[in-house]
Amino acid sequence: MSEYTEVEQPFLQQLQNLGWQIIDQGPDIPSDPTLSLRLNFRQWLLPEVFAKSVAALNVAVDGTPWLTGKQLQDLQDQLLRQPNRTLLEANEAIQKLLFKAQVDVNEASSEQDPVVKLIDFATPENNHFLAINQFRIDTPGGVKQFIIPDIVLFVNGIPLIVVECKKGGPTCANPMSEAFEQLQRYSNQRPATQQQGLKEGEPRLFHSNLLLIRSSGVEADYGTITSGEEHFYPWKTQWPQPDSVAEAFNPQQQLINGMLNKANLLGILRTASLFMDTDGGPRIKIVCRYQQFRAANKIIERLRNGQSAVEKSGVVWHTQGSGKSLTMVFVARMLRVSRDLNDYKILLVNDRVDLEDQLGKTARLIGGRVHTIDSRKMLRRQLATDSSDINMVMVHKFQLYDTSLPLKVAEALGTYQAIPSLSKN
């Protein structure tokens, strides 16, 4: 039994059961790039799949594709050309293109600068989902002649996920740690190699990357291109299916079924992945944890299906440091991209002054302007409007003002400061 038969093949077979197309090149080193739908082993995007898929997503009223061959090539070049950008900068730029790409003109309608769909987020089945194993990429000038990630997952010819499989055994004592090291090597991010000025991977494969996945079969988790090994997490929820469907699943099967089904994967890409600056540290890419994804979707489900204020409301319990601010961001993003809930007014209520700046920074990740409400008068005015904006307010602004209290006591209650002494001294 080998890594290929015990980890890689079951991974591909489960993806196929979820409706993915698969190209299984076996366990050996590939020698023919056309088997992986490329002209050569330097290509990391699948050119024909991309052109055909994107053309089919952008059609006129009569169903005729309107993008020209030149425009399809231009869109491909927008993804491929990321001059003088770091891996993270290129990744952020391409993710924006996945949400909103444009060409010069729609020659069928004469519309100027029309928006082009590279991915159809509203109808996942309209996209082309493909997984290829043993995806060889040549690395001239590198430490080795090529890299061969175990599995690469493509949507419309764009590589979104790189999977590294390892099987524990006498020659692999710590498969998950070795898988992480391999992913770092593929993306040319190993510190020791960088310090020596050497190249050992192909960062371009990761320019459009959403997820890195490592699996040994008995263990499986995911991270992003900026995740340290300690920030790879398992995926346990099967939302919108009940979690009971995965009772007999191993961790790899849980992750594939819950995270890599078409709807959930595109939902994570569209609303639950973001870039943010850390306090005094580098900029990072974040993908939701399974608890955040499940909670955010349950909130959306209640808002969509509830027939009364009570049915639309609820409480989500978080432990300290579990990412409740990011859960709010994911909910707000889901609201904004939905067709039926995008006109909701969003109100972020905070109960501590020292968290106001932190929440303000987090709120800006939603996108759009954030109104900071600093008075009861402004609160009333903002809540009275029918605009679907984002507002941030301290909870004490909702407090009824009691004129029977001494002024100093009322002010203290309103700011959570210590209650002043009422003595005449």
pLDDT of residue 386: 83
Amino acid making up residue 371: H
pLDDT of residue 416: 47
Averaged pLDDT, groups of 10, the chain, 425 residues long: 92 98 96 97 97 97 94 97 94 96 93 96 97 97 94 98 92 91 96 87 97 96 97 96 95 97 98 89 94 95 93 85 85 92 85 63 72 82 84 68 56 52 50
Q: How far is it, in rounded angstroms, from Cα 229 to Cα 403?
A: 56
Name the pTM for this structure.
0.89
pLDDT of residue 175: 94
> Tell me, what DSSP letter sits at residue 172?
B
3-class SS at 12?
helix
Q: Are 93 and 57 in contact, with CB atoms under 8 Å apart?
A: no
Q: Are 257 and 245 in contact, with CB atoms under 8 Å apart?
A: yes
Q: How far is it, in rounded angstroms, from Cα 328 to Cα 300?
A: 11
pLDDT of residue 419: 46
